Structure 1
Amino acid sequence: MPERWTQRLELSDGRILTLRPIEPADAEPIRQTFPLLSPEEVRLRFLHPIKELKGDLLKRLTQIDPRSQFALVVAEPLPPGQALIGAVARLAIDEGTLRAEFAILVSRFLAGQGLGTLLMKQLIRWARLKRLDEIYGDVLDENDAMLGLADSLGFRRESIPDEPGLVRVRLDVRPLSRRLSGAALLSRKTPD
């Protein structure tokens, strides 16, 4: 799988980076670079302040189950464990469903380069390959960058009851043929 999801990226400022699946060896570089994120970047991604990544959370973020989770990083073109990580995107299937929750973090050092869009398109691609119905994410209503990205890719917004300040964005990732056949089934009258 790694080669299928690996790309060499050249940013507009000339930096060369690698888009690739996350590896367990990325845990230490992620832990070390986490303090470089601004408190605002952390809050917008995790929805509350976190001072450091450690223990179970770090393990959960870097040791994924490929049957139900997918995660990519944008990193220096060095081996996992040595490369600094500048962006992370992940998708986790809700147990027993065909829905998955996404999360994306692009550090301010790489912002404005189109990486959020690239990462989200890769998450959508993986979701379609897994034949999921939907991907979704909970976003702070002040996170204009993430909401704008979601809007540009066709996500629809909805409020979350009892969660003021949060917006859920959803994208139907089923192929058109599956959407149309599902709509046809719903439109049929059921016998009395």
Structure 2
Amino acid sequence: MDDLEHLTRGPDAALVVFSFLQADCRNQNYRKELLSLGKDINYKGPWIDGYLEADGHLPISQMALSDIQPSVELQWPRDHVEAATIREVALGLREIAARLEDSIVSRATQNLERNILASPYEQCKRHLAGEVERLMNQGVGLEHLPQERVMVVLTLTLVKGVCEQAPQLLRTLFAAALEYIRRTGTR
């Protein structure tokens, strides 16, 4: 987890977020959206400031993510140590997410989904940031951990929770989470 700031600020942030979101995927429609998103990450390059980078260039090679069936071939860094670090960071974030109290996350996910579905697209980022900040201020029982990690975990947990219920929001929330994490996640 020492690489959290480096990975969430750089071009590999999309891979960290994707790796977190694709774990334990049970919803078929959500899985389809993930597969489509994975292909876009491959073919269009990294996500920069919430949007796909236009030039499509990434100095990466192909490695399969075995957690999704059928497997999506994502492009991972050529450096196997860096690819392992990305997976390790995503796993560490998922372990923290597992410690979050289910009722807190469930209510926050419902609030976020309701607010996003009732608002124009442009307000998605504001709703995500507001819900994460509300939870951070409320406290989630992980005060012993670095708060930037808790913020990243909350963001990704909320995004995954909403997208499992409303898979059509995956791209919008993926971009919003990426931008939010890059902007505020590792102060």
TM-score (norm 1): 0.25
Bigger fraction of residues in helix: 2
Question: 1 or 2 for the larger relative contact order (CA 8 Å, sep ≥6)?
Answer: 2
TM-score (norm 2): 0.26
Which has the higher Rg, Structure 1 or Structure 2?
1
Which structure dedicates a bigger proportion of its chain to strand? Answer: 1
